[in-house]
């Protein structure tokens, strides 16, 4: 079963490939991506030396949380996809929580 966000709580979707990690905030009600961040983003690409690892996942989590705060979004539904809550996914989630995002 796929998780769905609500009007007040958009969905924070995490996708991991072998090289990169992506985080998207999706408004399921209007079918739009509100904001996103990944290891391929311009602002992150200069900070990272290697690709998908826990340190970079933490940077992605902090970046997506900052973007969410700019949009005045404090609560999201966390959707880890088919990934287990371990390693990179856990670091990204903890970094977003530490920045003040609730899920």
pLDDT tens for 68-87 read: 999 999 999 999 999 999 99
- Give the pLDDT confidence score for residue 48 in this predicted structure: 78
CA separation, residue 5 to residues 82, 83, 101 (Å): 17, 18, 15
Q: Is residue 1 part of a domain?
A: no
Find the mean pLDDT for residues 14-33: 94
- Asked if pLDDT for residue 65 goes beyond 90, the answer is yes
- Give the pLDDT confidence score for residue 7 in this predicted structure: 85
What's the domain range around 60?
A: 11-98
User: What is the per-residue pLDDT across 40-50, written as a single tens digit (0 to 9) for each?
Assistant: 998 888 877 78
Q: Is residue 6 part of a domain?
A: no
Residue 34: which CATH number? Answer: 3.30.420.100
Q: Is residue 4 part of a domain?
A: no
- Asked if pLDDT for residue 95 goes beyond 60, the answer is yes
- Give the pLDDT confidence score for residue 56 in this predicted structure: 92
- Give the pLDDT confidence score for residue 43 in this predicted structure: 85
- Asked if pLDDT for residue 1 goes beyond 60, the answer is no
Find the mean pLDDT for residues 50-70: 93
pTM of the predicted model, to two decimals? 0.91
What CA–CA distance (Å, rounded) separates 49 from 42?
Answer: 13
| Count of the separate structural domains present in the chain | 1
Report whether 10 contacts 34 (CB < 8 A): yes
Q: Is residue 92 part of a domain?
A: yes
């Amino acid at each position: 079963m796929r998780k769905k966000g609500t009007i007040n709580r958009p969905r924070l979707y995490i996708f991991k490939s072998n090289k990169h990690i992506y985080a998207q905030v999706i408004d399921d009600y209007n079918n739009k991506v509100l904001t996103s961040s990944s290891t391929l983003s311009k602002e992150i690409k200069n900070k990272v030396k290697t690709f998908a690892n826990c340190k970079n996942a933490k940077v992605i989590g902090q970046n997506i949380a900052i973007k969410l705060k700019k949009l005045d979004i404090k609560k999201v539904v966390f959707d880890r996809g088919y990934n287990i809550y371990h390693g990179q996914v856990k670091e990204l989630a903890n970094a977003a929580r530490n920045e003040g995002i609730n899920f």
